[in-house]
Amino acid sequence: GESVGLHLPTLSVQEGDNSIINCAYSNSASDYFIWYKQESGKGPQFIIDIRSNMDKRQGQRVTVLLNKTVKHLSLQIAATQPGDSAVYFCAEKKGDFQKLVFGTGTRLLVSP
């Protein structure tokens, strides 16, 4: 079935490194993708989004890349900090506003 998934369940990096979190999606009709950060005991927090008519979008220390050819989404975090440690989810909108489909998440561990 249609799904949004992640390649790596856990990513460990050193403080100051750049981090890349990957996500594969299967629904070529999806028109909007979002990355969320979720810290322990908290709800998902918006990081950055991208529409399907774009292939790159930059925010503060974060960049999202979209490759529609291979249905791949990535989140790049520059100069990773201990405060970036969390679980990161990609999500896709399946054509209707009401239903975001989330992946299972990647845990990012940042060591000082």
Binding site for other proteins (CB under 8 A): 4, 32, 34, 41-46, 49, 89, 91, 93, 97-105
Question: Do the beta carbons of residue 92 and residue 72 sit within 8 Å?
Answer: no
Distance in Å, CB of 44 to other proteins, minimum: 5
Distance in Å, CB of 69 to other proteins, minimum: 24
Separation of alpha carbons 71 and 22, rounded Å: 11
Q: By C-beta, is 17 or 63 nearer to other proteins?
A: 63
Question: Do the beta carbons of residue 49 and residue 35 sit within 8 Å?
Answer: yes
Q: By C-beta, is 43 or 112 nearer to other proteins?
A: 43
> What's 42's DSSP letter?
S
Q: By C-beta, is 34 or 66 nearer to other proteins?
A: 34
At 31, phi and psi to the nearest 5? -115, 0
